[in-house]
Amino acid sequence: MPDTPSKEVIVKGLALSGGASFGRVCLLNENRHSNLPMYRVEGEAGMDREKARVDRAISIASEQLDSIRDEVERRIGPAEAEIFVAHKMIVEDNLDLVSGWKKKRYDSKVKKNIPSKLFNAAARVTSGLHLHDFNCGLKAYKNSVVKSVDVYGEMHRYIPVLAKNAGFHRIGEKVVIHQARKYGTTKFGMDRFINGFLDLITINFLTKFGKRPMHLFGLLGTIVFFIGFLSSIIIGVSKLIKLYQQKPAILITDNPWFFIALTCMILGSQLFLAGFLGELILRSKRKAKRYTVSDKLNLQKD
């Protein structure tokens, strides 16, 4: 809402209704729950009317998208009009994101087609998203997805994965028309697959351990340090046994396994400290956005 009453605000959209919520009806205590909003409880007839309004609004929005798509297809071409089909899928199927799929490709099989299939297969396995083409340029989003996903560097390849990690699990796919390149040459070489693989590792690390780095670095550090510490004990005990039995024994510092054990202990300590530093950095950034709020309901300011 504007700060001053004189400022005019124009809102575009379909006038529908206040909305409906389905669930159990609970009796509130007026003294304890005075800050909660009061809702009107409707019967089945009221719910049917509400659902009819929603279905009508979806139908009108779909008709408008069909009209725009036909106009774009007539003026520009069918390939460019596919984006409105994706938008229609979001409206009708209540999807958060729709990603394109270049099912039939017309580019080089060796340089692009086969590497792209391997890249998408790796992304499917690591992310759990069953999409065929993560890097397709055609994507349609809800407004909430755009505002929640933080894209930087070359992470645009993994927008569906970022959306899933942000809590948007309703992700669909739309087959699109792929057109062969007629002019110029591509600006991307084989290095994009290397960068894409590294970005995929980064996303998976941040997803699993971005909010708890100690669980990874601390575990690895403890294991490596324990291996080094146990090895040094074995080396020392074996040295003492040989001295007790009056057998010839080399100096501990001449034993290469001693330096391997010492290196493991140092690496384990460093990994453990890396986990501590990660936790301290996260604690120092408490104001940073680490989660997404879907709705704010009747919050009262003190």
pLDDT for the residue numbered 223:
95
Q: Alpha-carbon distance 96 to 170, whole Å? A: 5
175 phi/psi in degrees, rounded to 5: -70, 130
Q: What is the pLDDT of residue 293?
A: 63
Half-sphere exposure for 73 (CA within 13 Å, toward CB): 14
What residue ranges do the domains of the chain occupy? 44-180+188-209, 213-284
Relative orientation angle of helices 256-284 and 213-244, to the nearest 10 degrees: 160
The whole-angstrom separation of Cα 165 and Cα 206 is 10
Q: What is the DSSP letter of 252?
A: G
Rounded CA gap, 300 and 57, in Å? 32
Cα–Cα distance for residue pair 272/276, rounded to 1 Å: 7
Nearest to 188 by CA among 98, 105, 116, 117: 116
For residue 185, the SS3 value is coil
pTM score, whole prediction: 0.63
pLDDT of residue 288: 59
Phi, psi of 252 (to 5 degrees): -60, -40
Kindly give the confidence (pLDDT) of every residue in the chain, 302 residues in length, as a single tens digit, with 9 standing for 90 and above. Answer: 445 555 666 656 666 555 555 555 555 555 655 555 555 555 666 677 777 777 787 788 888 888 888 888 888 877 778 788 888 888 878 888 888 888 888 777 777 778 788 888 888 888 888 888 888 888 888 888 888 888 877 788 888 888 888 888 889 888 887 777 777 776 666 677 788 788 888 888 888 888 888 999 999 999 999 999 999 999 888 888 888 888 887 888 888 888 999 999 999 999 999 998 988 888 887 665 656 666 665 555 54
